[in-house]
Chains A and B, each alone.
Chain A
Amino acid sequence: MQLEEFLENSARTYPDKVALVSGDQRFCYRQIDDEANRVSHALIRAGVERGDRVVIFLPNSVEAVVSIFAVLKAGAVFVVINPTTKADKLAYVLNNCRATAMITAEGKLGSMSACRDDTPYLRSIAVVGPIQPYIAEIESAGKKLISFDEIRTRVADSQPPVKRCIDIDLAALIYTSGSTGRPKGVMVTHLNVISAATSITAYLDNVPDDIVINVLPLAFDYGLYQLLMMFKVGGTLVLHDSFAYPYVVIEKIIQEGVTGLPIVPTISAILLQMNLAKYKFPKLRYISNTAAALPVEHIRKLRTAFPHVKIYSMYGLTECKRVSYLPPDQIETRPTSVGRGMPNEEVYVVDELGQRVGPGVVGELVIRGSNVMKGYWELPEETANRLKPGPFPGERVLYSGDLFRSDEEGYLYFVGRRDDIIKTRGEKVSPREVEDVIYRLEGVGEVAVIGVADPILGSAIKAVLTLHSEATITKQDVLRHCSANLEDFMVPKVVEFQTTLPKTESGKINKRALTEVPQEV
């Protein structure tokens, strides 16, 4: 089976059922499937071949949904990029995966113009919105410009193209922050995604009557899976672009009769600041949380505010999508646990020699299952650090890099990370990536980026800098430079200048000392 069949099967079974609600618009399964067929034919005509990577650089929208399935139908690999990505990183990703096509929107062409000459592999760009003003510029860079609005309505292309893939072909690259500072492309096959989606929809008891609201970016695997899982079961996805206006989301939940609300701890922190007692959510069946553990206090308050709602506390990694979930009936008993492995997956804790350890012993968590990725795109060394030999000859299992312990009944408890990746509002940020950007600013001596506890964000990003003696830059200059070069969630919340940074014995910046003793000058 291939991933696009989630849509194709539902379009066959429920052609007129609402698949997607986006803003005021509603789209049934047949419409989405027809449009995805049309766009896939256009991609093939533009030269996209089986296994080619196609970057989707769009906000949460019906166009993004159609594009994901169109790329799959064309036999290609979709790569969804956060819509706040800036030109440098966009060019990095386009070149790193050697994307031959990109689907974006008119408003994003500004980011594109900065890198149009530095992306030699990119041959075609499909654009949502008017293309006329950009044709000369893009075509002078040797690329073909395609009107998305035109191809999605070409009735002659409504039948699906001939299938060219098998289920061990790649379906997607999902870029995630790496400790080296450059994002890594997590390679997932059709089988990986179908396996994860099958297990998750099984424990969430998803049914065609489910209506799930997604406020998370589709570039984030947790957001992406809300779409894939609803299309798998023939449910309805209410696609929203952010949680910026919580009341608007709450109104949507009530209006649309939403049954599933996926959140990250930042969203629960914002929700719990509201007077939730005023609203009624009779249809809401479950709230799922991942990205970082829900504070016990949040769990308690969510249970009070949503007494009839099941709360799923979960833990995941892009490298295998989901690691574990806590059955809702266990949340009172073990609120700090992230639960156990999901159906058709095995998870266990090992010591430094890779031997399984017993309850109570801290070790690295290992994941075994058909949901585990194939590796990081063209990074054999980093792949070998994560995918190591498993129980059977030739088998590879995923070493999470995170430290856990389990209790007597096998429930898992997160202990800590082995790297210095910061989790802020549920997204992973590599301190190195932010530091590299700040180092490019004239006058900066040394930089250390750390995470500091924040009630809403989980961890807030803090940059501590020293400046050259003649430098005149201000904190605002640093922030402006960061916001021009980094995705929104990576921009530091706090900038601090110091005369020197503490060092370890080996002369490296001592981040632990910075976290413990802040010294503002």
Chain B
Amino acid sequence: MQTLSNTMTVADDIRQFVTDNFLFGKSADLVDGESLLDRGVIDSTGVLELIQFIEDHYGIKVEDEEAIPQNLDSVTCLTNYVRTKLAAIA
């Protein structure tokens, strides 16, 4: 579980997870602000894997209502969302 002091690495962690699990190592295809779904980086079941990862890795609970594109659909959105959640439980 991460603490607020090292959330600077959140973006790196997420980028790494997406690269390893959805791009299978090809990091050049990942642009932080772009939609993961529209760009075909993840598919519908990929979102579930993504949620599982941030729940396990950061010890946060993604509520049903929070599982929306605004929070999860790009590296930037994910980073902001995780940081907000971590701040709330800090």
Contacts and interface: CB of A to CB of B under 8 A. Distances in A.
Given A242-B37, A476-B24, A270 B48 contact: yes
A466 B72 CA distance: 37
Interface string A74-107: 0000000000100000000000000000000000
A246 interface: yes
A244 B68 contact: no
B23 interface: yes
Nearest to B39: A107
B26 interface: yes
B44 interface: yes
Interface string A243-267: 1111110100000000000000010
Nearest to A107: B38
A248 B69 contact: yes
Interface stretch (A369-377, A477-485, A506-514): A477-485
A245 B72 contact: yes
Contacts of B22: 483
Contacts of B24: 476-477, 479-480, 483
Contacts of B66: 247
Contacts of B26: 480
Contacts of A479: 24
Contacts of A84: 40, 43
A489 B43 contact: yes
Contacts of B45: 266, 425, 456-457
Nearest to B38: A107
A457 B44 CA distance: 11
A323 B19 CA distance: 42
A363 B47 CA distance: 40
B25 interface: yes
Nearest to B20: A476
B4 interface: no
A456 B48 contact: yes
B43 A242 contact: yes
B12 to A, nearest CB: 18
A341 to B, nearest CB: 32
A489 B44 CA distance: 10
Interface string B6-44: 000000000000001011111000000000010010111
B65 interface: yes
A486 to B, nearest CB: 12
Interface in A146-193: none
B68 A248 contact: yes
A275 interface: yes
Nearest to B19: A476
A265 to B, nearest CB: 13
A278 B65 CA distance: 11
Contact of B47 (A241, A245, A425, A483): A245
A274 interface: yes
B43 A244 contact: yes
A488 interface: yes
B87 interface: no
Contact of A247 (B25, B44, B68): B68
Contacts of A488: 40, 43
A156 B36 CA distance: 40
A274 B64 CA distance: 6
Given A245-B72, A248-B69, A480-B24, A275 B64 contact: yes
Contact of A480 (B23, B65, B69): B23
Given A247-B64, A248-B69, A275-B64, A480 B25 contact: yes
Contacts of B37: 241-242, 244
Nearest to A493: B45
Nearest to B25: A476
Interface in B60-74: 64-69, 72
Contacts of A275: 64
Contact of A245 (B20, B25, B43, B67): B67
Contacts of A425: 44-45
A474 to B, nearest CB: 8
A362 B68 CA distance: 46
Given A488-B43, A489-B43, A247 B48 contact: no
Contacts of B48: 270, 456
Contacts of B43: 84, 242, 244, 488-489
Given A480-B25, A480-B26, A488-B43, A246 B64 contact: yes
Contacts of B72: 245
A274 B65 CA distance: 10
Interface of B: 20, 22-26, 37, 40, 42-48, 64-69, 72
Pick the 5 closest A-B CB pairs, nearest first: A480-B24, A244-B44, A488-B43, A479-B24, A476-B24
6 contacts: A242-B43, A275-B64, A477-B25, A480-B26, A483-B24, A489-B43
